[in-house]
Amino acid sequence: MKLYNKLLAWQSCLAVALAACNDTENPRVDLGYATYEGTALSNGVNQFLGMRFAAPPVGQNRFKLPQEVIQEHGIVSAKSHGSLCLPVDGLAFTPPPGQDMSEDCLFVDVYHPAHANGTPAQNLPVMVWISGGGFVQLLNENYNGTGLVEASNNGVVIVSFNYRVGPYGFLASEELQKEGSLNIGLQDQRAAMKWVEQHIGKFGGDPNNVTLFATSAGSGSVLLHTLAYGGHPPESENVNWRAGIAPAVWLPSVHKVEEIQYQYDHLLNATNCSDLACLRSLDSDTIQRANRGFPFPGQANVPLFPYGPVTDGHLLTGTPSEMLRNGSFAKHRPLILGSSSTEGTIFATQANTTQDVNDFLKTQFPDLTEYDLAQANTQYSSVPSTFPGVNVTKSPKFYQLSQMYGDMAFSCVASEFAAGLSRAGVDVYLLRDHVLDPDEVAAGFIVPHTWELQAVWGPEYAPQSVAVPGANSYDVGGVNHWMVGVVQAYWLSFARTGGNPNAAKAAGAPFWEPYRHGERLKLQTNSTTMESLHEEELDRCALWSKLSAKTHI
C-alpha cells in the first residue's frame, strides 16, 4: 500500500508542472531544457535561483544577441543566485557578499507561493523586476522577492533577471550593426520576458498578466520597451507584458551608431585587435581589463554613463523624445512613472562656479552649446544653495547643478512621457517621491535617486540606500515605516489589475488620479496627497524638451 501511495504521489507530481515530490522535499520544475530544484522556505514561498534563460554569452556569443538556452541534464540546483554581469571597470560597485561576477551571467530568479501549482485556474499575477545601473553596471543585488510575495498574501509571483551592461551589452559599431548585434542588453531583457511568457505558468504565474517593475535604468528600460519597434513589433519580436511601474525613471542619451563608433575603436586598440572576430577570441579577463569608459571626442572627462542604447532602425528608430513626439510607442499599456524630489544629488559634482556646472554638463552632453548652457544657468539661478535640515556644506553651485541634471535626465523624463502618453490615451499615473529620511537630509541628499527601493521591496529585503547606506527610516519603528505598506499596496494593486493602483490601496492612502493635466501623487509620510506640477517645473522641462535633440534623450 505504501508503494502504491508513493506511485500515486509521483503521478500527481507529473500531472502538475511544479513538484515538491522528492526526498528532500524541495520543489522541482521541468522547463524542457532543464529540471531545476529550488528551495521551499518556511514561510510558504518557493524560490528558484540562478536558472538560465539564454546560452552563456561568452566566446563566439560575446557581443551577440541572446542565443537559445542550452540543454542541461540531470537535476540542476537552483538554490543560489547566478553570477552578476560584469560592470565597466573602475566603477565603485561592490557585489553583495558571496556574490561573484562573470561574463556568463544570463540568469533568472523566481519567487512564488508554494500553493501555486501551475494549474491555469490558479495562475497568479506576475511582477518582473528590471534592475538599474545606468547600463554600465548591473545593480541587481539579488533582491529577495519573498517580502513582496508575503505582502501580497501569497498572491503574486516575482521574477528578476540579469542583463548585459557596458560594452558586453551596448557596444556599437558599423561591424556590429551589419551583423544585427546592437542594443544587446535590451534584447537580453526581452529574452528574459519571453522566458517568462513561455515558462512562468509552471511556477503558478499568469503569462497574460505580467507587470514590469523597475528603478533607474530599469525604469528607463520600461519606457524603451514601450517605444520598441514604434509600438508595433513584428510577431517574432513581440513580448507579452501588460503594464509597467517605473519610478526613479532615467533615460540615457541615445546616439546614432556613427556617433558612438569611437568606443568600439578604443576597445580594439586597447586589446590589440583589428576586428570583431578577434574581440570574440579573447578570454574574459583580457576583455575586462580593457573594459572602461572613454570621453566623448573633444571632451576631457568620461561621462557618468558612457555606454547605452543606440538607434538601430528597428528596436529604436530615434531618440526617446523623437519617438514620443512621433507617436511611435505602444498605446495599450498603463504605466506608473515617477521621480524623487532631488534626483540629481547623488550624481552632481561639487561645483563652485558656473564654469564647473557647464563642464559637468558638457561632459555628459557635448552637443550643448554655450548659448544653451547660458539659458540653463539663467533658468536655474533661483535654486537655493542649501536646504532646511542639511548639516553639511555643499559647494555654492551644487544644488543648482544637481537640480539641472535631476530634471533633464529624470524628473522631466517622467512628466514629459506622462503628458505625451496620456494625450495618446494611455493610462499614466505620475508620482513624486518626497519621503524624507533624517539621515539623507542631514547628509545633503534630501530625497536621493532610488530612495523608494526599501519601500517597494521592504527594508529587510532591499539593498541599503545608495546615498547614505545606514539610512533606516523605513525599518520597523522608523519614521517612514508606514510608507512601506502604502507603496507596496499601490504597486501590488497595479500589478494585480493590470493598471489600477487604487483597487487595493492601503487604508488611508489617497486616491491616485491618472495624469491628465499635470496631476501627480506626492509620496510623503503623513502628507501623501495629490498635487499638480509646479509652474517653475513646467518651464524648466520645456527648456530641456527644446534641447532634447542635443541631449539625445
Residues acting as catalytic residues: 216
Cell of 512: 491616485
Handedness of CA 90, 92, 97, 103 (dihedral sign): negative
Could you please report the per-residue DSSP string of 202-234? GGTEEEEEEEEEE-THHHHHHHHHHHGGGG---
Cell of 217: 535604468
Burial of 1 (0-12, 13-18, 19+ CB in 10 A): exposed
Phi, psi (degrees; rounded to nearest 5) at 106: -85, 85
- Per-position b or e across 416-444, b if 16+ CB within 10 A of its CB: bbbbbbbeeebbbbbbbbbbbbbbbbebb
- Which residues does residue 51 pair with via DSSP β-bridges, in sequence order? 108
Q: Does residue 29 sit in helix, strand or coil?
A: strand
- Which residues does residue 113 pair with via DSSP β-bridges, in sequence order? 45
Residues 6+ apart with CB under 8 A from 246: 212, 213, 214, 218, 219, 220, 222, 223, 335, 336, 337, 338, 414
Residues 6+ apart with CB under 8 A from 506: 485, 486, 489, 490
Cell of 32: 524542457
Closest alpha carbon to 250 in 466, 86, 440, 399: 466
> What's the longest Cα–Cα distance across the chain?
87
- Rounded to an integer, what distance in angstroms lies between the CA atom of residue 375 and that of residue 396? 19
Cell of 436: 524624507
8-state DSSP, 181: -
Q: Does residue 311 sit in helix, strand or coil?
A: strand
C-alpha distance from residue 346 to each of 116, 462, 540 (Å):
41, 19, 20
Phi, psi (degrees; rounded to nearest 5) at 463: -70, 165
Handedness of CA 189, 191, 197, 202 (dihedral sign): negative
- Rounded to an integer, what distance in angstroms lies between the CA atom of residue 58 and that of residue 285? 12
- Which residues does residue 111 pair with via DSSP β-bridges, in sequence order? 47, 158
